[in-house]
Structure 1
Amino acid sequence: MQPRNMSMSGVVDLAAVKAAGEAKAKAEQTRAETARQGGGGAVPPSALVIDVDEAGFERDVLQRSAEVPVVLDFWAEWCEPCKQLSPVLERLAREYNGRFVLAKIDVEANQMLMQQFGIQGIPAVFAVVAGQALPLFQGLAPEPQIRETLDQLIQVGEQRFGLTGLTVDADADESAVAAPAPGPHDAALEAAVDALDAGDLGGAIRAYRNVLSDDPANSEAKLGLAQAELLSRVQEMDPQKVRQEAADRPDDVQAQIAAADLDLAGGHVQDAFGRLVETVRRTAGEDRDAARLRLLDLFEVIGPDDPRVTAARTALARVLF
């Protein structure tokens, strides 16, 4: 794909007097509230490049954009141009040292964000400044063009919205920053495991959801919740009936979803993934979305680092795009 320079194409609208004034006032209010709550201090270098999903978008992008421009890198594992562009953006984020934050968004796992931004192809790079979204560029672009675009973005953030960026503490203890919150989360996770051991799936699900309500990125809670919900869905199923219905009604999305749940619960991981990828390929609209979302749920059961998940994500991307 030839790079289509969208550099600052939204600046005229973004810089309109009324819109800029309102956004600036809101950003100042947000920064003041952050300061009152004891936030807004120095951040470690790891905070300059972050992975963002739909659940954390408001906190990690919209709220953060009241302090610093947030650049959005829409990418996918199968996208070769993305693999060339993303390292450049990550290096520049560290080089600019807090003048902007890079938020990486996997389009396969975050279809809603992709649709909201009107992404037609990847890589695609957008920015959010004081809650205002604007396109930067699409496709590969030479580094000098990227730098020029970033410089314009930072200038708009400073002049129109008073965003001076983040203070970066190069000596920050990265391990301390990344460590999970102690105490309440540990207790809640232990309670969830105890509930699972006792066969109380409802109690385990509630406990995991309590953790995720406070810490949406908690990987242990995500995995535990996905597993508990899967067990809850299949515990009352009649396996023979479910499999017969799936065989008799190949176009029945709910029948295929139920059979995929049984496949996964029985350890037939690739069968479950393949069934739902094929269902996504054959369907459209709400049916396709239902199959896709259940497939993403099943990815959580196995874990994102499993090679079977990686292969299924690639297969899903091919039928979607």
Structure 2
Amino acid sequence: MQPRNMSMSGVVDLAAVKAANEAKAKAEQTRAEVARQGGAAAVSPSSLVIDVDEAGFERDVLQRSAEVPVVLDFWAEWCQPCKQLSPLLERLAQEYNGRFILAKVDVDANQMLMQQFGIQGIPAVFAVVAGQALPLFQGAAPEQQIRQTLDQLIQVGEERFGLTGITVDSEGAAETAEPAPVPAGPYDALLEAAVQALDAGDFAGAVQAYRNVLSDDPGNTEAKLGLAQAELLRRVSDMDPQKVRQTAADNPADVNAQIDAADLDLVGGHVEDAFGRLVETVRLTAGEDRDAVRVRLLKLFEVIGPDDPRVSAARSALARVLF
């Protein structure tokens, strides 16, 4: 099954102003009650992925959604795409470390929930934020698209409902966990080859070297960052900077011109200018053009790194123009 639209536009439809205000008030009441009781205790990493049925839905999903976004994975044992998507969602739940909870729903055992959400096919993924249901996507999808959707979901939870996630007791887990498996292989040689290719101006070679690492170790942070940088340098290598900037200045709504100019801004060290240019272009565009700009902006975030405050500021600005 091919993935359907992964846009978060459903947030606007489902979270009308009155409903959003009521949900936000309930979430604030819940957090205040937790604070009066001494604050929420840290949860174990195993609590980030849970199985949910109809009987426990209110407790495990609706109530928890006042603290943290809850992502619902509707699946079945016989569903082959589910066997690809579910492990990926479980891994991302652990990686996001309390920014959302993954709740797995076996549709064969929970037909009523399937009907309530209007699900026509699986896998189907929804979210519940402050008691409100948001459709995310249906069908298996590439990891990068799923990450982008989760990032937008978390941003909505923070911006509209003040949900900042839950605390995970990683120290307690470390005391009881088995030793981490050794990575699949030494990557020093491949990473060094990629750096040498970059230094020599062989951007295509660097891209391939980083991809070789990621094909064996998808979570390799150094390779992810290196790949984003190498792809950026490859894109700008054949540009005429003066021509690109003039075209962008003359055509503010030209998506390709603004994307190219943002790449040049970033390479030149003008990070805020690059981010601001693309956020403004997202505001001015719609449909496929808007999505193309948003995707490029997320790629530029990868070049700078998620912990950089300029990325955090740009994510907030992007959320404001999207929602």
- Pick from 172, 176, 194 the counterpart of residue 171 of structure 1: 176
Shift of 1:11: 10
Per the alignment, residue 279 of structure 1 pairs with: 281
**Residue 315 in 1 paired to residue 317 in 2?**
yes
Letter aligned with residue 235 of structure 1: S
Output the CA distance in 2 between the equivalents of 1:199 and 1:170: 46
Letter aligned with residue 218 of structure 2: P
Per the alignment, residue 118 of structure 2 pairs with: none
* CA displacement, residues 1-50 of structure 1 (integer Å, 9 cap, x when unaligned): 3449xx856999xxxxxxxxx934679xx8xxxxxxxxxxxxxxxx8961
Q: Is contact 1:73-1:123 (8 Å) kept? A: no
**Residue 50 in 1 paired to residue 94 in 2?**
yes
Per the alignment, residue 218 of structure 1 pairs with: 220
Q: Is contact 1:107-1:114 (8 Å) kept? A: no
- Consecutive unaligned residues in structure 1, runs of 5 or more: 13-21, 31-46, 54-60, 66-71, 83-104, 125-138, 142-167
Output the CA distance in 1 between the equivalents of 2:95 and 2:274: 27
The 1:275/1:184 distance shift into structure 2, 3 A limit, reads same
Letter aligned with residue 172 of structure 1: A
SS at match of 1:279: helix
Output the CA distance in 2 between the equivalents of 1:300 and 1:289: 17
Q: Is contact 1:74-1:106 (8 Å) kept? A: no
Per the alignment, residue 76 of structure 2 pairs with: 23
Shift of 1:216: 1.9
Shift of 1:108: 10
* CA displacement, residues 133-152 of structure 1 (integer Å, 9 cap, x when unaligned): xxxxxx799xxxxxxxxxxx
Matches within 5 A, 1:134-153: none
SS at match of 2:306: coil
Shift of 1:198: 2.0
Shift of 1:186: 2.5
Letter aligned with residue 205 of structure 1: V
The 1:106/1:197 distance shift into structure 2, 3 A limit, reads closer
Matches within 5 A, 1:76-155: 110-111=148-149, 122-123=156-157
* CA displacement, residues 162-206 of structure 1 (integer Å, 9 cap, x when unaligned): xxxxxx884236xx52x8726432322122112112221111100
- Over the aligned positions, Cα root-mean-square deviation in angstroms equals 4.7
The TM-score with structure 2 as length reference comes to 0.52
Equivalent pairs counted in the alignment come to 207
Shift of 1:215: 2.0
Letter aligned with residue 184 of structure 1: P
Output the CA distance in 1 between the equivalents of 2:209 and 2:145: 29
The TM-score with structure 1 as length reference comes to 0.53
Shift of 1:51: 2.7
SS at match of 2:187: helix
SS at match of 1:222: helix
* CA displacement, residues 269-290 of structure 1 (integer Å, 9 cap, x when unaligned): 0000000000001100010011
Residue identity (%): 58
SS at match of 1:51: helix
Output the CA distance in 2 between the equivalents of 1:227 and 1:221: 10
Output the CA distance in 2 between the equivalents of 1:198 and 1:242: 25
Output the CA distance in 2 between the equivalents of 1:291 and 1:303: 18
Output the CA distance in 2 between the equivalents of 1:288 and 1:249: 15
* CA displacement, residues 224-268 of structure 1 (integer Å, 9 cap, x when unaligned): 011111111111111110000001111100000000000000000
The 1:252/1:169 distance shift into structure 2, 3 A limit, reads closer
